[in-house]
Amino acid sequence: MTGTTAPVARQHQDIPETVARLRDTFDSGVTRPVAWRRRQLQALRRMLLDHASAIEEALYDDLRKGRTESHLTEIGGVLAETEHALRHLGRWTRPRRVAVPLNIKLATARVHPEPLGVCLIIAPWNYPLTLTLNPLVGALSAGNAAVVKPSELAPATSALLADLLPRHLEAVTVVEGAVEETTTLLAQRFDHIFYTGNGTVGRIVATAAAKHLTPVTLELGGQSPAFVDETADMAVTARRLAWGKFTNAGQTCVAPDYVLVTRAARDSLLAELPGAVREMFGVDPRAGSDYGRIVNDRHFHRLTGLMGAGDLLTGGDFDAEDRYIAPTVLTDVPPQAPVMAEEIFGPILPVLTVRDVHEAVDFINARDKPLSLYAFTRDRAARRALLEETSSGGLVYNAPMIHLGVPNLPFGGVGESGMGAYHGKTSFDTFSHHKPVLSKPTRHDTLRLVYAPHTSRSFALIARAVSRTHPLLGRKR
C-alpha cells in the first residue's frame, strides 16, 4: 500500500506539507468507498496480529506492562473495536430514510453519512496503543484521512506506531514529538480534532480548534468516585476495586479515584482490601510481572507527594530509581487533602466514610462531574439516587472500567471530564457528517400554496394545515 500512504513527519517544519498532502488525498475521493474503509480496518487488524510481540515489548519498555495486561487492555481492545466496525460498517454507512410531515408530502428525505475530511488524533501515554488506535478505527470507518500524534511520554510505542501505521494504512500519517510539534499541528486546519488527556491541554486544543471552527472531541478525566454500602458483597467489591484501581499502576482515566463507603460497610471493606491486593499482585508487587511502573520521574514525585493524607491501610512503599509505587490504600482521608484535589492517575486509593448514599450524592455533586461513577450496592433506592441525582460520563454498578469494553455504549465525559463520545457506532458518528438530503418532485407543485402573492384563501388553507400539524395552534381563543 504505497499509493496514498503519507510518510511520518519527522520535524515540525514538515507538518503543514503533510496535512496538505493528506487533504489532497481526501479530496481525490479515495477514502470514501466502503470497500476502501473495509480494507483499512482489515489491514489494521493484520498489523496488530502480525506485530503483537513488538507491541508487547514497546508497552513493557514504556510502562512495564505485562504480556497478559497488554493483550487485555491494549491489543485485544483495539481488535474488538476493529472487528465490531467491520461487522457493522455496511449498516452504518447506509443512508437512512426519515419521514416527512404531511405539508411536504410527495417529498422523500434521507440522512447520508459522509466523511468529515482530515482528522487529527492526539493520544495520551497511559494506554498508548488503545487510546491512539480506537479513535483511528472510527476515523477510518467514517472514510477520513488522519494525522496521528502519539504521546512522546511513551516513546517506544510512539516509535513503533510511526513505523507500522504508514506501512499498513493509506491516508494515515504519524507525527512524533512533543509540545512544539503539537503546537504546529494545532495551527493547521482540520475537520475534526480528537484529544485524550487532561483538562489543561484540552482547553488549549479547544481554543486552537475554535480559530478554524473545527469540532472537537475531548476525552478528559477528573476524579471518578466509587460508592460502597453494606449491601455489597465485600470480598468481590474489594477484588474489583483492587483490579480497577491498580491495573496499569493506577494510570487509567476511569480508575476509581476514591471510595465513599458507608459507616455500616467501612470495617468490612477495609478488612478485605489488603488481602485483595495481595491476592492480585503478591506480597511484593515489585517482584511480579503483573504490576507496572509510573511513566516518568515527574509523575512519580507528584504521586509520592500525595501519600501523606489519612492513615495507611496497605502499601506505601516506593522506589524512585525503579519508579515503583506499591498499591496503596489510605483511610480516613480528609476531603480537603491534596490527594482529593486532582485526578490521582496512580496507585493510591483514598477511602472516605459517609453516612449514607445521600451524603455520597452531596459529596459527588460538590465536585466536578466525573468521567465514571461506580456503585457497589444492591439497594435499589441507592442505585436510583446515584442514577437520577448525579451526573457523570458513565455509571457502572458493581464493577469498574468494564463499560469501556462494550462497543454499543458511548464512552465520553461531561463538563470538566470532557465533551463528545466514541466507541462502536458512536465513533463512526463522531467522525461523520450526517447530511440531510430531501427530494421534492416537480410533477405536482404542491408548494404553490406558499408562493406569493398571498390571499385570504391561501391564508385559510395554510392555517388549516398548520392546525392539523399543531392542534394547539388551531384552537379558537
Cis peptide before 436 (omega within 30 of 0): no
Per-residue burial over 324-363, b if 16 or more Cβ lie within 10 Å, else e, is bbbbbbbbebeeeeebbeebbbbbbbbbbbbeebeebbeb
Q: Are 199 and 174 in contact (CB under 8 A)?
A: no
Residue 151 near residue 123 (C-beta atoms within 8 A): yes
- The contacts of residue 237 (CB under 8 Å, 6+ apart) are 228, 269, 272, 376, 398
Distance CA 57, CA 53 (A): 6
Segment holding 86, helix H or strand E: helix 76-93
Closest CA to 227 of 341, 352, 319, 135: 352
Residue 219 designated active-site: yes
Closest to 206 measured CA to CA, from 224, 190, 223: 190
Catalytic pick among 253, 272, 343, 416:
253
Instruction: Please say whether the beta carbons of 401 and 240 come within 8 A.
Output: no
The active-site residue, picked from 69, 170, 181, 219, is: 219
CA distances in angstroms from 135 to 85, 160, 217, 330, listed in the order given: 12, 18, 10, 35
Determine the Cα–Cα distance for residues 256 and 243; give it in Å rounded to an integer: 10
For residue 352, the SS3 value is strand
DSSP state of 323: T
Other C-beta atoms lying within 10 Å of the C-beta of residue 415: 16
CA 263 vs. chain centroid, Å, equals 34
Nearest in space to 219 (alpha carbons), one of 248, 238, 190, 196: 196
**Separation of alpha carbons 422 and 411, rounded Å:** 5
Other beta carbons within 10 Å of 233? 13
**Is 253 one of the catalytic residues?**
yes
CA distances from residue 391 to 195, 331, 365, 394 in whole angstroms, order as listed:
22, 26, 8, 8
What amino acid positions are annotated as catalytic residues? Answer: 219, 253
